[in-house]
Amino acid sequence: MSIVNYLKESILKRLIKVEDGRVKMFGKIDYIMFPGVAMAEFLHQIGKDMGEDYLFDLGYKAGLDGANEMIEKLGLFANSIPTNMNIINSMFETLGFGKMNIKVMHSEDGQILLTLVEHPVIEYAKLKYGNKTRVCALYRGIFSIHAEKDLKVKNCKLIETQCVLKGDAFCEWSSNYFKKSKKT
Amino acid sequence: MVNNIFEDLIVRGGLVGNNNQLKLFRKIDFSMYPARAFAITINDIYNKKGLDYLIKLGKIMGESAAVMFRDEINKMKSLIKKDYQTIKNLIEISGFGKIEEFIEDEKKITIRIKNHSVIAPSKELFSNKSSVCSFYGEIYGAFIRIFKNIKKLKITHTKCGCNNGEFCEWVYEK
Ligand SMILES: [Zn+2]
Ligand SMILES: [Zn+2]
């Protein structure tokens, strides 16, 4: 389902409510919408001035709060891991976080391999800065903590082995999957 | 009844889906972010790099969004007026907040905002150390500068109360 159909349907089902200029998921969690281009420039500048690790860290902290808020206010992710995976997939797509494909996951061993395409912010960053930007680090941080909290992947700190920004077809992220030497 | 700019856009097809991305006017992609988490992000940056840096980032983000909207509107050949209502609407659909009042006279523009989804949790989490108002003040300033064709604005945050039913107020001196 396209994201806007999902959004339309979500609004019809009152999953996403718009009240007094505020977008609320399930009527409980506030979300803000950013034009992809503005977010790309914002993140590019931070990455340029403070480095990729800081961007990852920012994403990790934001993702931790986001994941906690979903658990606190919606009681999500008390389900089985496959159900959680479906929730995460459709939720991230709805949020304009691109299309994620989890290829390998062994939660107990802390192992995960996934790819990401069509992320609007990463796409804009690529257009504007090509391989000179590291904006995906923020989203890698966000996904890392969601994988740890919602998918129970132990000590998940995703590394990037392929990247849209470097001309690859997708961003490829993993934790405890490849030997460190493959990290680009 | 449609009384909200988001719902209005969706119902009228101004906001459409294409390749799993959310697009406004078939062109402008959006990405969402939890509001409370964004308050944490902004305050983290402030703690690490200080107020001047946050102001620089607000300018970058605001200008980027405002320039993109201005260029899209210019392509539509004056179908949309570049008046204060447009500035208010664009700020709202960019996810930067709903401006309650926009008062303009010869020398200055005053804007007031209430119940802001990022400022409110930021005040709750960081109380008087919250830095998000400085960031948003710059974003609104960028929209005003670009749509009103003003080179420089002096920005003052004259009232701050987004967390207790009051409003935040910024004055932009031309
Ligand atoms: Zn990447
Ligand atoms: Zn304020």
SS3 B32: strand
Interface A-B: count of C-beta contacts within 8 A:
175
pLDDT of residue B1: 35
CATH class of residue range A56-180: alpha beta
Cα end-to-end distance, chain B, whole Å? 39
Among A17, A22, A32, which would you mutate to test the B interface (most chain B Cβ atoms within 10 Å of its Cβ)?
A: A32
Q: What is the pLDDT along chain A (184 residues), one digit of tens a residue?
A: 444 555 555 554 555 666 666 777 777 888 888 888 999 999 999 999 999 999 999 999 999 999 999 888 877 666 678 878 877 777 777 677 888 999 999 998 999 999 999 898 999 999 999 999 999 999 999 999 999 998 999 999 999 999 999 999 999 999 999 865 454 4
Same domain, B21 and B55: no
- Ligand 2: distance of its center to the CA of B26 in Å? 34
Kindly state whether residues B65 and B87 are assigned to the same domain.
yes
| SS3 assignment, position B156 | strand
Q: Which of B7, B10, B29 to mutate: most A Cβ within 10 Å? A: B29
Model pLDDT, residue A68:
92
Task: State which residue of chain B sits closest to A138, comparing Cα positions.
Answer: B41
Q: How many helices (H) and strands (E) does chain A have?
A: 6, 7
Phi/psi at A30 (5° precision): -75, 135
Provide the residue range defining the domain that includes B91. 40-173
**Which ligand is the nearest neighbour of the Cα of B97?**
2
Judgement on whether residues B3 and B56 belong to the same structural domain of the protein? no
And the tokens for B67? 């320039």
Q: Whats the size of chain A, residue-wise?
A: 184
Same domain? B59 vs B122 = yes
Same domain, B77 and B2: no
Q: Do B34 and A65 touch (CB under 8 A)?
A: yes
Distance from CA of B107 to the nearest CA of A (A): 29
B173 shares contact with chain A (CB less than 8 Å) = no
Same domain for B64 and B15, yes or no, is no
Name the stretches of chain B with pLDDT < 50.
Answer: 1-3, 17-21, 26
Chain B residue with minimal CA distance to A70? B34
Which helix (H) or strand (E) is A92 found in, with range? helix A81-94
Sort out which chain B residues have CB atoms less than 8 A from A66's CB and list them: 34, 36-37
B3 and B57 within one domain: no
Claim to verify: residue B44 and residue B7 sit in the same structural domain: no
The CATH code of the domain that includes B111 is 3.90.1520.10
B45 to chain A, any CB pair closer than 8 A? The answer is yes
Provide the number of structural domains found in chain B. 2
Delimit the domains of chain A by residue range: 56-180
Do the Cβ atoms of A18 and B4 come closer than 8 Å?
yes
Q: Do residues B107 and B166 share a domain?
A: yes
pLDDT, position B14: 54
Distance from Cα B40 to the centre of ligand 1, integer Å: 23
pTM: 0.88
Alpha carbons B116 and A143: distance in angstroms, whole number: 26
Binary contact (B30, A119; C-beta < 8 A) = no
